[in-house]
Amino acid sequence: MNKFVFAFIFIFALVFSGCSTRGKGTYTKYNHPAPKTYSSSAGDHSSTLETKRYTHPTMRPYVVRGIRYRPTVVSVGDRFKGNASWYGPDFHGKLTSNGETYDMHDMTAAHKTLPMNTIVKVRNNENGRSTVVRINDRGPFVATRIIDLSKSAAKEIKMIGNGTASVTIEILGFQTKGKKTIPNNQELKQSPQEQSDAVFALQIASFSNIDGAIKTQEKYDNTDGYRTIIKDTTNDNGRIFKVCLKGFKSEEEARDYKEQSSFENAFIVMED
């Protein structure tokens, strides 16, 4: 066999081997998904989430288009007026902001600041029709809109054709995390009537001397918009200076932040 034939067979074997390996799907490298973007069937409100280490928010503040959104504390009976839009096929099967898979046939909606799993009644002010949905996503990031409905919910209040509608939102209750179906009236009555307005903090370090506490406070003050304080306490071992990151409006917000931050040994405390 001459050198030319041998080289040809060798190259052919390499190419064939490479193609067959690709065809069998043997790749093991994991490609992280691109930052999530939002858009609406009723108009463009797409924007990349800019918060560092951002994954699936619940009560954690986040930034979109340079605007900081902080999930709010609300009570049953609260009402809000504004414009609704809807989102459908382009997002069907993709992840929502709380980690669920978006199903445009479910009775769900996106809201900028309502706590996840808030149950709301949405009334179309233009025709009087209403529907009940569960918040499981963030958006729409357009100043004139307050809620983005699933396709099925939008169909119930007959706003598919127009794309947007003037609506009134009423808070009905708060559903247990993990349940996807809309609760009945009895279950809503038994659910909490308001989100806790307790203020939480993360204890990120403790020291027996004030100098270490001051250095840590200065280093982490205003981290992601949260402030640090030093608590002067005493226990059986003497005087202890605790450094806490404060400003969390709910335990869920503090838990979310802890899981996604570099403070691995931090723990949640109630502010005095």
What CATH number is given to the structural domain containing 233? 3.30.70.1070
pLDDT of residue 195: 53
pLDDT of residue 224: 82
pLDDT of residue 2: 55
Residues 6+ apart with CB under 8 A from 256: 57, 58, 59, 60
Residues 69 and 186 in one domain: yes
Query: Does a structural domain hold residue 3?
Result: no
Q: In which residue ranges of the chain is pLDDT below 50?
A: 5, 8-57, 196-197
Task: Tell me the per-residue pLDDT of 199-256, one tens digit each, with 9 for 90 and over.
Answer: 788 999 999 999 999 999 999 998 888 889 999 988 888 899 999 998 877 777 788 7
pLDDT of residue 179: 74
200-207: strand order across its sheet = 227-235, 238-248, 200-207, 267-270
pTM: 0.58
Residues 179 and 232 in one domain: no
Residues 85 and 205 in one domain: no
Cis before residue 140, ω within 30 degrees of 0? yes
Number of domains in the chain: 2
| Residues 104, 110, 114, 117, Cα dihedral to 10° | 20
Residues 66 and 176 in one domain: yes
What is the 8-class DSSP label of residue 49?
B
